[in-house]
Structure 1
Amino acid sequence: MLTIGQEFPKFSKTAVVSIEKGKEFETLTSDYFTNDDNVWTVMFWWPKDFTFVCPTEIAEFNKSYGEFRDRDARLIGASTDSEFVHAAWRRDHEDLRDLKFPMLADTSKSLAEDLGILEPTEKIAYRATFIVDPTGIIRWVSVNDLNVGRNVKEVLRVLDGLQTDELCPCNWEKGQDTLSV
């Protein structure tokens, strides 16, 4: 599995960005990660569309979208399902209709494989979360078992800590003192 300090892999994938007819799809590339705007990227993966735990996570990331934006971070959701399945799920599931971030389709499973998060038996992605800095370097990785949803508040807490570029003690939260050496 790729980890902290490594460059996020190069990719070009189709993503669902809307449910409006004719405007559903865009191509996202790894260039999305590196930019001159000092924007961070949070990419989170789920195993399968039309399941039970996954939409609770996706909806929670969407509810927190403004908090990520306020931290100069963009969100990308991803799974190994196709863009057509993503679009159908968004149209079908009330909590997913108004997503503010793209749903990346890794149908070839190549990006999940490059990241090292492809479950070996079913060939689906683990519940992995990557925080990538504006230069395209992975700064945090968290992977959950397929049955356990992640904690979006913890992703925000870690992003806050990384953005301080200082030493943050256990249970540190934004606004608290960092450590001085």
Structure 2
Amino acid sequence: MRNVILSVGSEFPEFKKTAVISIEKGKEFYELSSEELKASGKWVVMFWWPKDFTFVCPTEIAEFNNHYQDFVDRDAVLIGASTDSEYVHAAWRRDHADLRGLHFPMLADTSKSLATELGILEENEKVAYRATYIIDPQGIVRWVSLYDLNVGRNVKEVIRVLDALQTDELCPCNWVKGEATLAN
């Protein structure tokens, strides 16, 4: 049975999950919910990776962190997620130099329920594909990209698409912020 991937125009599923927000003892965990995100009135960029303690994943997570301020400047909440537990996330953050100073939460979908609802759970290994969702302030999916397990994504492209969506105008191929959009 093939997964049906939640796509553009769909309402992002409701969830309440534990996230790792710090490596400081006693302040590591936070319950993050879709309700809280919707109430913030901000755009949300949620990106998924397959497994902690692997090779491609930390390169992506570190690159998203390098561009964290770009998301903040665009009034967007950045969230990383995988099906690993919050304890594995916390251990990985403490262990990996590039992950210690993350500015965004690492969501733990240990039940795999959100990954399943999104249609991004790989059938054999039961881990999430490299998926990225851009969700508007009303909770509607406006962009989704999905990569195979062994291919890293381009964070600058995620930012470019977020910029284009936020114009609410027609944006031509390869459009970047500051360029003219298409007139109706």
Q: What TM-score range do you get, normalising by the shorter chain?
A: over 0.9
Partner of 2:8: 4
Partner of 2:113: 110
1:5-84 map, 5 Å: 5-35=9-39, 37-84=40-87
Point out where structure 2 has 5 or more consecutive residues left out of the alignment.
none
The CA deviation string for residues 118-170 of structure 1, in whole angstroms up to 9 with x for no partner, is 00000000000000000100000000010100000000000000000000000
Native 8 Å contact 1:33 1:132 kept in 2 = no
Partner SS state of residue 117, structure 2: helix
Partner of 1:131: 134
1:164 lines up with 2:162 in the alignment? no
User: How large is the Cα RMSD of the aligned pairs?
Assistant: 0.7
Partner of 1:94: 97
TM-score, normalised via structure 2 length: 0.97
Native 8 Å contact 1:80 1:107 kept in 2 = yes
Distance of 2:37 and 2:168 partners within structure 1? 19
Aligned-residue offset at 1:51: 0.1
Native 8 Å contact 1:15 1:83 kept in 2 = yes
TM-score, normalised via structure 1 length: 0.98
Report the identity percentage. Answer: 74
Partner of 1:146: 149
Report how many residues are paired.
180
Distance of 2:178 and 2:41 partners within structure 1? 21
Aligned-residue offset at 1:31: 1.0
Letter paired with 2:151: V
